[in-house]
Chain A
Amino acid sequence: MESTRNKLIELLANNQDDYISGQVLSDKLKISRSGIWKHMKELEKDGYTIEGKSKKGYRILDYPDKLSENTLQWGLNTKWIGKTIIHKQSIPSTQIIAHQVALEGASHGTVVIADEQTMGKGRMNRHWHSGKGKGIWLSILVRPDILPYQAPQLTLLTATVLADVLRTCTTVAPLIKWPNDILINNKKTAGILTEMQAEQDRIQYVVIGIGLNVNQTKSDMPEDIGHRATSLQMETNKHWQLRELVQNILTTFENTYDSYMENGFPEIKDKWESFGFKIGESISIKTMRDKWDATFLGIAADGALLTKATDGTTKKLYSAEIDWFKEGEN
């Protein structure tokens, strides 16, 4: 049933300017005309506006902004990403579901997306505020044929994808705070959480979680993060369609990922640095035992943070707490 529905949407989508007759649909989908009519009713429940004219046929007039498997797949021209989309209205976290389906064997490119997360995960189980319909809360499952130590590059890759989509589709000027937070006007708009299951020399799967603040207003932002977080709407005074943004993220992700698999990290590095926040500026670095100031030089060939300390020594960092704003918190 589901695939018939998708084919139907595809047929209608490809004929947006014209009517397509019930007979043609019935022939192509190999179901009766009353079956077609039933599917149309279901699509209307999903929020599509479908015009049915006798002797002419059917035509899609409008699609819903509501996210669903159907609306997301309609018009999504990708080769492998989003062929399976799991959409839920409200779940604890898309990461949890993505891990579950990954362990059950879900395929490369599976996407889990929710209208609302009740227990959105930030890193180290920090809470990520993800209100209903206010943003994009999704997880992408990939099974890359690279070595586990290269996998952190996927988080930088995903950051460039988000920055690219925001720059192309909206009017904001995004920057990436190493390794993968998206900032607009120095405030966080998106976060990425990447989790991997791997053996020593082989990756089983990687789940890339994306949280993008879209239509929150100032009052939606919890007070404690209000001065550090923002949304597209707050930055542009405009309401944004989630569906379009999701599709752009998925398409751009697929292209970027394929190119990375073919050409390696150099292209990602250049792109990343073009969005890099505070390159050439002074930052405070903290590890478990040490704390020091250094100049942020850019990223290394493998994505690590390159810094130059006051004594002139350069250092490559893979993991550290960085005080980007020099206000005592990261």
Chain B
Amino acid sequence: MLKIEEIREIIALIDQSSINEFTYETEGTSVSLKKSSEPTVAQHEKIIAPIDHTQVATPTVQQPSANGEQTEQPVVESEVAYDYEIVSPMVGTLYAASSPEKDAFVSQGSKVTNDTVVCIVEAMKLFNEIEAEVTGEIVEVLVEDGELVEYGQPLFRVKKN
């Protein structure tokens, strides 16, 4: 199991890093750390409790290496997994809906197919309906309604099916 000093060390490392969340699990012991506006100490206390109940079993020697691995994994998890970006084919204003009072064409979590309209880009009163061109799920919306977008600017991230 983790020693208090080791947990402190991990916290210090996480504090300095861009990691927001950290989970460590081994033989019934689990440690999870989460960055928030709350002081890290509060998180720390919660973490200590389960550790106190665990039996001494895990060799401490492995901890630093496990620590090293873990610091990388959350980095991958903190970004949204996507494998396709829908980009703007032209300069213009982005419209998220067909008219101001309507709902947006898509939002995070929307399922799309090749011909799903995801937004409209307007330049010089030409309205270009942008289609997803892939089948999958919108995992991230990178633009706001009314925003000016550049040629080639990523608009949406999609996890393909």
A168 within 8 A of B: no
Q: A124-B100, A288-B148 are in contact. Are A149 and B129 (CB under 8 A)?
A: no
Pair B148/A195 contact, Cβ less than 8 Å: no
A287 to B147, CA, bound (A): 9
The chain A residue sitting closest to B94, CB to CB, is A319
B126 proximal to A (CB < 8 A): yes
Contact call B95/A124, Cβ cutoff below 8 A = yes
Q: Determine whether B123 belongs to the interface, using a CB cutoff of 8 Å to chain A.
A: yes
Flag if A304 contacts B147 (CB, 8 Å).
Answer: no
The answer to whether B124 and A304 touch across the interface, beta carbons within 8 angstroms, is: yes
Task: Indicate with 1 or 0, residue by residue over A188-217, a CB within 8 angstroms of chain B CB atoms.
Answer: 000011111111110000100000000000
Q: What CA separation (Å) do A126 and B127 show in the bound complex?
A: 14
Q: Closest CB-CB distance, B5 to chain A, in whole Å?
A: 50
Q: 1/0 contact trace for A112-148 toward B, CB 8 Å?
A: 0000000000011110000000000000000000001
**Candidates B124, B129, B151; contact of A319 at CB < 8 Å:** B124
The residue that A194 contacts in the complex, of B100, B127, B147, with Cβ under 8 A, is B127
Cβ contacts under 8 Å, A180 to chain B:
124-125
**Chain B residues touching A, range:** 20 to 34
Confirm or deny: B110 has a beta carbon within 8 angstroms of a beta carbon on chain A. Answer: no
- B148 A194 Cβ-Cβ under 8 A: no
In the complex, identify which listed stretch (A48-56, A77-85, A150-158) lies at the interface while the others stay far away.
A150-158
Q: Which residue of B lies closest to A191 (CB)?
A: B125
Complex: how many Å from CA A124 to CA B89? 20
Q: For residue A194, which residues in chain B have a CB less than 8 angstroms away from its CB?
A: 125-127
Most-contacted residue by chain A among B89, B92, B133 (CB, 10 A):
B89
Known contacts being A125-B99, A149-B90, A199-B133, is A179 close to B124, with CB within 8 Å?
A: yes
Considering only residues 88-136 of chain B, those with a C-beta below 8 Å from chain A are: 89-93, 95, 98-100, 102, 122-129, 131, 133
- CB pair A156–B124 under 8 Å, yes or no, is yes
A276 proximal to B (CB < 8 A): no
Contact across chains for B124 and A152 when beta carbons are under 8 A apart: yes
Residue B64 CB within 8 A of the other chain:
no
Please, how many residues of chain A have a CB less than 8 angstroms from a CB on the other chain?
A: 33
Q: Report A279-321 CB contacts with B as 1/0, cut-off 8 Å.
A: 0000000011000000000000001100000000000001110
A149 to B131 CA separation, bound complex (whole angstroms):
15
B123 near A195 (CB under 8 angstroms)?
A: no
Give the complex CA separation of A281 and B18 in angstroms. 51
Option from B89, B123, B148 in Cβ contact (under 8 Å) with A200:
B89
CB distance from B132 to the nearest CB of A (A): 11
A180 to B126, CA, bound (A): 10
Given that A124-B100, A149-B151, A198-B89 are contacting pairs, would A155 and B129 also be in contact in the complex, using a CB cutoff of 8 Å?
no
**Which chain B positions have C-beta within 8 A of A178?**
124
Cross-chain pairs A/B with CB under 8 angstroms, 5 sampled: A124-B98, A124-B100, A125-B98, A318-B93, A319-B91
- Pick the 3 closest A-B CB pairs, nearest first: A152-B124, A149-B90, A125-B99
Q: Give B contacts to A, CB under 8 Å.
A: 87, 89-93, 95, 98-100, 102, 122-129, 131, 133, 146-148, 151
Other contacts beyond A195-B128, A200-B87: 4, CB < 8 A: A149-B89, A196-B128, A318-B123, A319-B91
